Chains A and B, each alone.
Chain A
């Protein structure tokens, strides 16, 4: 298993549940302004029909304002243009953050020279090469890289072992080991070899390196709309069409109403020719879903960006969206659920031996044992019994007995006393061979520990010519802290967790119970994994998994969300649709949360956008028609100062709300793992009810401020 030992997720479920995404720096807004103006080009705006209509309206009203200038007309025109600029600004800011990251990556992508081997075969001496530029390398080429050199392209190590500095892509400064064969053979172009020499077979096509793809991804260069984004766009387009029809068909009705009330003078809003163009466009812009239309692409970009900030690269937005829909999580036991190695968790002495005696002997027998299990015995003895850690060198005359596959035990001979610890059968045989008789409770304890999924290690000694068993060390997989709470959370979100392990079913069950996962797959082969994924998908569930090895590749490709570890093989990285640069399998849970948050942000802002329309109607309808039908002034419940200030206030509010919501769009709405029902209630109150109330307040405040401007009465 190549997954590194990882710390338990640093955050405890109770405290920090919010998925944040970095704060918005006001300077970013200013920096993105030029881009926002560039995006006014209709050819660019074409992909956003809602804002394209606003731009067309702004253009039309500009012409009207030139023909028939007034303060009201020009103020409205400016704010209509600002609406489009603000929308572009949202997108530009979201893209700007990616651009900064891309710049860092580009720095790593310096053009290097490569030493391409000529006619090299594995095993041959790597001495014949010619120097070529990195872009000239083709798939299958072999290159030799030495300490201090930059690896010229993505590939697999085919010979040698080296420590590599991958900080250029992972941001992690500690070097990693890359070696030929196995699951740690993949190297990334642009990273630096720190020691030794390796031969790398290039696997990338020119210009399609991992860094190239990363740059394209974070820049959002070829960002495609995701399925859900397309569906939402359709709804927004439909709403836009409805409101286009509503405003367009109002005109003959308005002309009729005006004609029916002769003697009422023309106003800025309504003349004998109907509602004036500027007011009509203002109404349209206020009604169509500009808020969500303006922020929709920023939300998508920011969602990808939040993943990048967690060092996860999603190969497509589709994968991020799918993460929100995942209903089954396949989690590798080792490294994800448990700390990765068995650790001593209990000393069980036989009758007549105290726990302290056993602990001292066990510690003594393990001092020279550098395996993680051996270290854990020493650590546990110190933690539980306060035994000072002794260095092997402290003990004179000690004769260390190392573990071998034949003896299956290790220990020490010290001053005539022999101490051993190891596999139960091996140590018991050693005791019997030396004339001792292990008592019955040893067997019982060993069986009990095995039965609970743990590993028993028996400790024996020969002292004063008597061989005996002192007790049993209970080694077990230690479940990372907080995992049970995380899985409970998952369950509340409706996500089933399945633990994948190579252990036997007994052990697997014990760990599964302790960790609180819903199900487990024991003695799992890659085929079993693939079959499990297919079975889940048959039932309509979306499956997420992590993997690193080449034999994980088929399962990674089959899963809806396949997160490959950056430490893994090229095949695994190729097969998955996300790569975790930190190689932290626990991150799968965060990925799911980010996916959900992305969808929630879209839904919340759509609701907010539609709910806003109510207040805008209450501002604009009386402004347009109260002159002909004074009764309609009853709808002016905000008591706005004048028709002009009412209409302008609504337009200004409509534009400002975009700016106000940019941080929310980039950060994503607050997400707490909970049931769908509770989530909906909360979001309905905040964004539905809030969406109805906020504009009433906002428009009124703007009206209070602008009513003193010239031309407002």
Chain B
């Protein structure tokens, strides 16, 4: 089997299976978020938290709840890391340093899972399981809750209530993430991943030197790492480690988990707004961008257009022989198209243009299909901006799903859109402008620049993957990327909720022949075009001095 054919088979089977799960999972999530009933466990949790599950929250209350929950999570996670040596199951690990603990706490709460530490040699089992793994669930559930709140903004009219954050959070975790994770973990164990509480085993390697191999509850961590688009690995080498990603089959299954929820959410959206067609349109935008990206990344990597790959016959540097070029490229696309950031190969070693694609995927705002929830709300904001320009061109005040896009909506959508490019470019400029931070770079020239650009792109977009090549566990990098993650997560969330709050008050405008249809290929093409062009225009100078300078000869 040629590697191209293997790649096509790999990608094709993924598309088919995701196509099959889109509808039932989307419908299931629709029922989860619209059902009036609370189950026993949920009622217990609400009583514990003192929450009135049937009370509606306006956008500001919803946003405050999100921020309060996230703040408490950060403090808890920070404390857990700093005190891990005083607690049990620490495997004798020292307390995590202050800046690393801050960075890690932020990183897991913001669904980024940027890791400036090496997992198996820094965090004990307690931190991994009760700290990081819990955040892997709830940070994804937060993202989904925000998306659902925005969808309610479109679906409801003349009211203020966007739902109840605590209910959305709990249901997302218990009814959606937990059951899928449970089944997924079993599949992964069956596929060869480990699941135990073992500490480090001392082994003697072939070269005779000793090596410590740490065991742990890997499969259960792994499944939510992918399913919740988290990406924080149990091991430093993440999904390239054989205990985290054993075979081509588990590799396939992990990509499937990465895409599972983000690709099903448009269906939930379509059901909630009562127009399934609108959901398909959003899905079509996501699929178009994703397919183009996956194909391009595969082409760039298989062509191996760089000096070393040309010499050895394939771009295998930084890729695991278990997976090969295509499966690594597809995984890299999947992890950056979503906010996952798990890696099974080293993006730093990709061909310059292949590496650029992973960056470009994130620069799109991770909307194709994006992180759990975050992808949908990001895409809907892009649709709003597209509708504004397109709507003017049909001679009406622009409207999307019957809601008018006026000055306030545009202000919020624009501010949403400004956040991440500002963080990425500002962070990169600061790092490149400071001689001290430039010293953290292990590479010089355009490749070094790409590494810095990648780091801030990943942190600001809450991806969490790293190009590598920079010593990031310094105080400056921990603080800078930490700030990028906080602002990159919560500012957009506030703007999205405010947007939802503004939309939900409006009375819907009935559609007519004069209304811009937003379910046709025409509109899908326009959203794709606006997304690519605006992102390209924003980042082209930076990309030109990084990957393009390196990749075009």
- Residues 481-509 of chain A, each 1 if its beta carbon lies under 8 Å from chain B, else 0: 00000000001111110000000000000
- CB pair B514 A625 closer than 8 Å: no
What is the CA–CA distance of A14 and B539 in the complex, to the nearest angstrom? 48
Question: Which of B389, B438, B515 has most chain A Cβ within 10 Å?
Answer: B389
Contact call B392/A599, Cβ cutoff below 8 A: yes
3 shortest A-B CB distances, which residue pairs? Answer: A603-B392, A494-B514, A596-B395
Closest chain-B Cβ to A669's Cβ sits at a distance in Å of 9
Given contacts A625-B545, A679-B395, contact A610 B407 (CB under 8 A): no
Interchain CB contact (< 8 A) of A614 among B415, B520, B537:
B537
Q: Does B425 contact A (CB under 8 A)?
A: yes
Question: How long is the Cα–Cα vector from A540 to B407 in the complex, in angstroms?
Answer: 18
Within 8 A of B (CB), among A231-267: 231-232, 234-235, 237-238, 241-243, 245-257, 260
Contact of A495 among B430, B514, B533, B540 (CB under 8 A): B514
Q: With A596-B395, A671-B395 given, is the CB distance from A241 to B418 under 8 Å?
A: yes
Quick check: B410 and A249 within 8 Å, CB to CB?
no
A619-660: which residues lie under 8 A (CB-CB) from chain B?
621, 625, 628-629, 631-632, 634-635
Give Cα A602–Cα B393 distance, bound, in whole angstroms. Answer: 8
Cβ–Cβ contact A242 & B428, under 8 A: no
> Which one of A228, A237, A257, A688 has the highest number of Cβ atoms from chain B below 10 Å of its Cβ?
A228
* Least distance between B467 CB and chain A CB atoms (Å): 16
**Which among A253, A283, A632, A687 is the interface contact of B429 at CB below 8 angstroms?**
A253
Q: What number of B residues sit within 8 Å (CB to CB) of A?
A: 67
A610–B522 touching, CB < 8 Å: no
**Interface: A325 (CB within 8 A):** yes
CB within 8 Å of A: which residues of B? 385, 388-397, 402, 405-407, 409-411, 414-415, 417-418, 421-422, 425-426, 428-430, 432-433, 438, 444-446, 449, 507-510, 512-517, 520, 522, 526, 529, 533-534, 536-542, 544-546, 548-549, 551-553
Q: Is the CB of B426 within 8 A of A260?
A: no
How many whole Å from B47's CB to the nearest CB in chain A? 41
B538 / chain A contacts, CB cutoff of 8 Å = 242-243, 246
> Are A680 and B390 in contact, with the CB atoms below 8 A?
yes
**Quick check: is A287 within 8 A (CB to CB) of the other chain?**
yes
Closest to A692 in B: B533
CB atoms of B429 and A634 under 8 A apart: no
The answer to whether A629 and B397 touch (CB under 8 A), given A231-B407, A234-B414, A246-B425, is: no
Pairwise interchain contact A629-B393, C-beta atoms closer than 8 A: no
| A235 surroundings in chain B (CB, below 8 A) | 385, 388-389, 410, 414
Interfacial chain A residues near B508, Cβ < 8 Å: 540
Contact indicator B537/A613 (Cβ below 8 Å) = yes
17 more contacts with CB within 8 A, not counting A255-B433, A324-B396, are A231-B407, A235-B385, A235-B388, A241-B418, A242-B417, A245-B426, A248-B429, A257-B545, A324-B395, A595-B395, A596-B395, A614-B533, A631-B549, A676-B396, A679-B395, A684-B526, A688-B529
What is the CB-to-nearest-CB distance from A293 to chain B, in angstroms, rounded to a whole number?
Answer: 15
Q: For residue A592, which residue of chain B has the nearest CB?
A: B395
| Nearest Cβ on chain A to B249's Cβ, whole angstroms | 40
Closest Cβ of chain A to B213, distance in Å, is 40
**6 A-B pairs (CB sep. < 8 Å):** A228-B392, A246-B537, A541-B510, A610-B389, A629-B545, A634-B552
Q: Which residue of B lies closest to A604 (CB)?
A: B393
Please state if A677 and B520 are interface contacts (CB–CB under 8 Å): yes
Interface size class of A (residues with CB under 8 A): 35 or more
Q: How far is the CA of A670 from the CA of B526 in the complex (A)?
A: 21
**A234 contacts B395, CB within 8 Å?**
no
Do B429 and A251 touch across chains, with their CB atoms under 8 A apart? Answer: yes
Is A680 touching B414 in the complex (CB atoms < 8 A)? no
Chain A contacts of B428 at CB under 8 A? 249, 253
> Which residue in A250, A283, A683 is a CB contact (below 8 Å) of B542?
A250
B234 to chain A, nearest CB (A): 35
C-alpha gap A228/B536 in the complex (Å): 27
Instruction: Report Cα–Cα, A287/B393, bound state, in Å.
Output: 22
Q: Identify the closest chain A residue to B421 (Cβ).
A: A242
Residues from chain B with a CB closer than 8 A to the CB of A325 are: 396-397
Cα-based distance from A677 to B526 in the complex (angstroms)? 12
Expressed in whole angstroms, the minimum distance between the Cβ of A562 and any Cβ of chain B is: 18
- Identify B540's interface contact among A256, A621, A687, CB under 8 A: A621
On chain B, the residues within 8 Å of A494 by CB distance are: 512-515
Which A-chain residue is minimally distant from B507 (CB atoms)?
A540
Query: Once bound together, how far apart are the Cα atoms of A667 and B171, in whole Å?
Result: 56
The interface centre, meaning the residue of A232, A631, A671 with most chain B CB atoms within 10 A of its CB, is: A631
Q: Which of B411, B514, B515 has the most CB of A within 10 A?
A: B514
Q: Please tell me if the beta carbons of A252 and B549 are within 8 angstroms of each other in the complex.
A: no
User: How far is the CB of B452 from the nearest CB of chain A, in Å?
Assistant: 9
Q: Which residues of B contact A610 (CB under 8 A)?
A: 389, 533-534, 537
CB <8 Å contact, A677 and B432: no
| Interfacial chain B residues near A493, Cβ < 8 Å | 513-514
B430 vs chain A, min Cβ distance (A):
8
Are B537 and A607 in contact, CB atoms less than 8 angstroms apart?
no
**Whole-angstrom distance between the alpha carbons of A632 and B397 in the complex?**
42
Distance in angstroms from B515 CB to nearest chain A CB is 6
In Å, the complex CA distance between A255 and B537 comes to 21
